[in-house]
Amino acid sequence: MQNKRLNPFKIAQAQLDESVKKLGLAPRIHRLLRKPMREYRLTILVKMDNGRIKRFKGFRIQYNDARGPCKGGIRFHPEETIDTVRALSAWMTWKTALVDIPLGGAKGGVICNPKTMSGGELERLSRGYIRKIFKYIGPERDIPAPDVYTTPQMMAWMMDEYSKLKGYYCPGVITGKPVEIGGSLGRGDATARGGIYTVREAARHLRLNTKNATVAIQGYGNAGSYAAILSREILGCKVVAVSDTKGGIYNPDGFDPHSVLQHKKKTGSVINFPGAKSITNKDILELDVDILCPAALEYVITKQNAPKVKAKIIAELANGPTTPDADKILYNNKVFVIPDFLCNAGGVTVSYFEWVQNLSNFYWELEEVHQRLDKKMTRAFKDTLNMCLKGKVNMRVAAYMVAVSRVARAMELRGW
């Protein structure tokens, strides 16, 4: 399996190297940017429901904090690796810089299978993780958030554990919390909403009318389902294909994303949705649609299938869905790619809004969250597009160049 052999951190470093070369940054700055500033490896002991003590391995990596406190999610996954966490912490660094919020990049993870654990076991693991990293996080140092297989409830437990250790209520230590205990309105659909704002801007640039423009979405989880709903509500698009881990559905006349979501909640999958034709996850990437949204796994667009991609716009809601080889092919074929750490930056942007609200103890209305998110995403898209046109590079390299130059400048100003 080719995708299994790809090392995400080496890919992240290669992407950085290309942007550094084009920016002409000094070697000393390049060396500092290539590796995380701090890595913590953890062993967490948890009492399981059967009375046995189980040992879990965990990580927290703080990649760069030149522009502000580190920020990044916590993943609970059975196949978590330190190189995945390293890569994601690097991408978080570039993501926060690209949308120009005063934060750095971090990521955390625990090797576990949450699907086989009880609520009590997950709570004890969540609290145990915080006890291990308590000294290294905080509202002024590192602010975690939910990620793969972690939830607002887990963030609530983690915030509570940190508050107990500090001795006072401290909601600003973590974002993605339930609204009742300091979470922000608008966080639930923030990743997809931010992505749809960038699709709108890409369509304007390409002079593509989004009214009835066709959309295919690989992955119908939180980001994918909201992307389907919002593409129709905000842009007037027609969703013609969606998929999940069990397969996909296709109807050239389109279907109602809400109905598909209800069908998935009832049956466990989008497959067998009434009036739709079955399609594979592989085939959905090659459909003749205007907008393709990979919103599930990494490295699904490769040099093998990139020549078959017919979409005009690829909106990468997933992290790392396109390999570097595929990037070159898509660019040459004039497929407009909105790179992941621009397209899916809506989540961290609203997380930043949550942190700001926690620190000020003043909370915003939903409309204000949406307006501020739109402004941040639109500006980030325009900054990236300007670099793309000026440097005659693809959008991913352009996004790196904008972000890396901002981090490098902060390091220089601070005397690093």
Q: Which residues are catalytic?
A: 107
Sheet holding 38-47, edge to edge: 38-47, 53-64, 105-111, 70-77, 142-146
- Beta carbons of 133 and 110 less than 8 angstroms apart: no
Closest to 312 in 3D by CA, of 340, 296, 284, 293: 293
Phi, psi of 207 (to 5 degrees): 60, 45
Rounded Cα distance, 266 and 250, in Å: 19
Rounded Cα distance, 367 and 365, in Å: 6
Contacts 24+ apart (CB under 8 A), 113-118: 113/77, 113/78, 114/76, 114/149, 114/150, 115/149, 118/49
Kindly provide the residue ranges of all beta strands, DSSP E only, lying in 112-224, ordered along the sequence: 142-146, 214-218
Phi, psi of 202 (to 5 degrees): -65, -40
Rounded Cα distance, 48 and 367, in Å: 43
Rounded Cα distance, 104 and 95, in Å: 9
Taking the alpha carbons at both ends of the chain, their separation in whole angstroms is 42
